[in-house]
Chain A
Amino acid sequence: MPKTMSITEARDNFPALVRRVAEQDEPVVVTSHNQPKAVLMRWETYQAQQQAQLEGARYRLAHCVTSMEQLAGGLLEAYRPDSFDLEHGTQNLLRLAKEAWLICRLLDQPHRHLASLLTDVLLILVERKGQLTEVQLARWLSALPLLRQDELTNELVAKVNQALLEVGLTSIFPMEEADVTQYLALVEEAA
Chain B
Amino acid sequence: MSKPTLFLDTTIQIERVVSHAQRRTQLQETLSPYRLITSSYVLGEFLRTLVKDAIQLHQRIEQYAHLDEVITDLGQHPNKRVASRMMLILGTLLRGNRTAQSTFDAQTRLQIQDRLARYIDFGLLDHFFSGLAEIIDNTQCGLARERPAAAFSSTSDGFVYQLRSQCVRHVRECDLAEQMQSWRPELRALADGLTQETDPVLLRMGELAQKLSEDPVWARGRNCTWYLGDLIIALELPLDVPLYTTNLRHFAPILAILGKRLYKSDSP
B residues 126-145 in Cβ contact with A at 8 Å: 126-127, 130
Given A113-B117, A174-B18, decide whether A187 and B11 contact each other with a Cβ distance below 8 A. yes
A residues 168-191 in Cβ contact with B at 8 Å: 170-177, 179-180, 182-184, 186-191
B126–A158 CB distance below 8 A: yes
Q: What is the 8 Å Cβ interface bit string for chain A, positions 84-122, against chain B (1 contact, 0 not)? A: 000000000010000001100100010011001100100
A123–B21 CB distance below 8 A: no
**Is residue B17 within 8 Å, beta carbon to beta carbon, of the partner chain?**
yes
Contact of B114 among A116, A161, A190 (CB under 8 A): A116
A residues 128-177 in Cβ contact with B at 8 Å: 128, 130, 154, 157-158, 161-162, 165, 170-177
**Is residue A124 within 8 Å, beta carbon to beta carbon, of the partner chain?**
yes
Contact of B96 among A112, A127, A179 (CB under 8 A): A127
B residues contacting the other copy or chain, number (CB 8 A): 50
A175–B20 CB distance below 8 A: yes
B93–A173 CB distance below 8 A: yes
A130 CA to B226 CA in the complex, in Å? 38
B10–A180 CB distance below 8 A: no
Smallest distance from the beta carbon of B128 to chain A beta carbons, Å? 10
A-side contacts of B91, CB under 8 Å: 179
A120–B20 CB distance below 8 A: no
B residues 9-68 in Cβ contact with A at 8 Å: 10-11, 14-15, 17-21, 23-24, 49
Smallest distance from the beta carbon of A174 to chain B beta carbons, Å? 4
A157 CA to B130 CA in the complex, in Å? 15
B-side contacts of A102, CB under 8 Å: 107
B-side contacts of A183, CB under 8 Å: 14, 18, 85, 88
A residues 70-96 in Cβ contact with B at 8 Å: 94
A-side contacts of B230, CB under 8 Å: 191
**Is residue A5 within 8 Å, beta carbon to beta carbon, of the partner chain?**
no
B-side contacts of A117, CB under 8 Å: 118, 123
**Is residue A64 within 8 Å, beta carbon to beta carbon, of the partner chain?**
no
**Is residue B227 within 8 Å, beta carbon to beta carbon, of the partner chain?**
yes
**Is residue B153 within 8 Å, beta carbon to beta carbon, of the partner chain?**
no
A120 CA to B225 CA in the complex, in Å? 35
A61 CA to B268 CA in the complex, in Å? 42
Contact of A171 among B81, B107, B123 (CB under 8 A): B123
Contact of B20 among A101, A158, A176 (CB under 8 A): A176
B-side contacts of A109, CB under 8 Å: 117, 121
Contact of A186 among B85, B119, B247 (CB under 8 A): B85
B residues 73-90 in Cβ contact with A at 8 Å: 81-82, 84-85, 88-89
A182 CA to B117 CA in the complex, in Å? 24
| 22 interchain pairs, CB-CB under 8 A | A112-B114, A113-B118, A113-B122, A116-B111, A124-B96, A127-B95, A128-B21, A154-B121, A157-B118, A172-B119, A172-B124, A172-B127, A173-B115, A174-B92, A175-B88, A179-B88, A183-B88, A184-B15, A184-B247, A186-B81, A186-B88, A189-B81
